[in-house]
Amino acid sequence: MPNLQRSRRVENAKSSLIIIALVTLILIILSQMNFAFVGRYKHFYLQGTINTIVLAFFAVIFGVLLGVIISLMRISQSQVLKIVSASYVEFIRGTPLLVQLYIIYYGLPMIGIRFFDIRLPIIGTIPGDFIAGIVTLSINSAAYVSEIIRAGIQAVDKGQMEASRSLGLTYATSMRYVIFPQALKNILPALGNEFIVVIKESSIVSVIGIADLMYKADTVRTNTFQPFEPLIFAALIYFVLTFGLSKLLGLIEKRMKKSDSSS
């Protein structure tokens, strides 16, 4: 089919052209900018980056723990647990993260729940605001994690459960030894992806004064009177974080697949 090949070649040429045009445009814009501030404010960016990573890390850890509990509730045989967990997921997914953050940060103290500073070995003191941020991001992430787990379990062929039950094994045993190990292969890559999402979404907590990367970038903007460049630099760091992580996860996944097929 020479015709099809031709049109594919035209498509390829078109997309390369778009990329070249974009890169040129970005280079032109960057050449007009002044990044001299980076030298003076590199500690700002470093501290902000560390805070963002710590925030995302804890949010994912607690998000996964809570997400596992919620997904277990969702696949349980109790109607009550099912409704509670489904409502949780729907509510979290159906409302903006910013609203959730305000509810937790401003709302909870009004009913007497306050966030205190926590002192930890190695890491040091984690301020109360920071805790509120972690709590919000965890609660938010848990809804998505529980969906990831549910989808991972549902993707396992139904015949697996049937075969296991037909041997006389209970539902719980079948879940634990037959379904879950297979579901894990679907779940782990998606969880890595969730970590990337949380890194990006976590930038929202800067609005309550948590000194994450976004907040620090804002500070640099105010101090330098440069409205634009400090943000570009922060975006670059976000991109390096997420792109690097995504490449790393891809590598791990590849390695997992390899050990799988050789076994």
Partner 1 sequence: MIQVHDLYKQFGKNVVLKGINLDIKQGEVVVIIGPSGSGKSTLLRCLNLIEMPTSGDIIFQGQSILDKKTNINKVREQIGMVFQQFNLFPHMTVLDNITFAPRKLLKISKEEAYQLAVNLLKKINLENKIDAYPNSLSGGQKQRIAIVRALAMNPKVMLFDEPTSALDPEMVGEVLAVMKQLALEGMTMVVVTHEMGFAREVGSRVLFMDEGLILEEGTPQEIFANPKHPRTREFLGKVL
Q: Is 170 one of the binding residues for partner 1 (CB under 8 A)? A: yes
**Which of 34, 87, 125, 173 is close enough to bind partner 1 by CB under 8 A?**
173
The Cα–Cα gap between 144 and 194 comes to 8
- H/E stretch holding 49 reads helix 37-75
**Per-residue binder mask for partner 1 (CB under 8 A), 124-163, x = binder:** ---------------------------------x-xx-xx
Among the residue ranges 132-140, 169-177, 207-215, 225-233, the one whose residues contact partner 1 (CB under 8 A): 169-177
Q: Is 168 one of the binding residues for partner 1 (CB under 8 A)? A: yes
Q: Is 167 one of the binding residues for partner 1 (CB under 8 A)? A: yes
The answer to whether the CB of 140 falls within 8 A of the CB of 66 is no
Which is closer to partner 1, CB of 118 or CB of 169? 169
**Which of 73, 89, 104, 178 is close enough to bind partner 1 by CB under 8 A?**
178
Q: Which long-range contacts (CB under 8 A, 24 or more apart) does 204-208 make?
A: 204/97, 204/98, 204/101, 205/55, 205/101, 205/133, 205/136, 205/137, 207/98, 207/101, 208/101, 208/105, 208/129, 208/132, 208/133
Which is closer to partner 1, CB of 97 or CB of 184? 184
In the complex, least distance from residue 157 CB atom to partner 1, rounded to whole angstroms: 7
Among the residue ranges 24-32, 89-97, 147-155, 164-172, the one whose residues contact partner 1 (CB under 8 A): 164-172
Q: Kindly tell me the burial class for residue 111, based on how many C-beta atoms sit within 10 Å of its own C-beta (0-12, 13-18, 19 or more).
A: exposed
The Cα–Cα gap between 241 and 56 comes to 11
Residue bearing tokens 């996964």: 64
Residue bearing tokens 């605001």: 129
In the complex, least distance from residue 146 CB atom to partner 1, rounded to whole angstroms: 23
Q: Is 77 one of the binding residues for partner 1 (CB under 8 A)? A: no
Which is closer to partner 1, CB of 77 or CB of 263? 263
Give the number of residues in contact with partner 1, rule: CB under 8 A.
19
In the complex, least distance from residue 121 CB atom to partner 1, rounded to whole angstroms: 39
CA distances, 116 to each of 50, 73, 84, 100, 105 (Å): 21, 30, 29, 19, 12
**Could you count the other beta carbons within 10 Å of the beta carbon of residue 64?**
21
The Cα–Cα gap between 220 and 41 comes to 7
Among the residue ranges 44-52, 60-68, 175-183, 207-215, the one whose residues contact partner 1 (CB under 8 A): 175-183
Interface contacts to partner 1, rule CB under 8 A? 157, 159-160, 162-170, 173, 177-178, 181-182, 261, 263
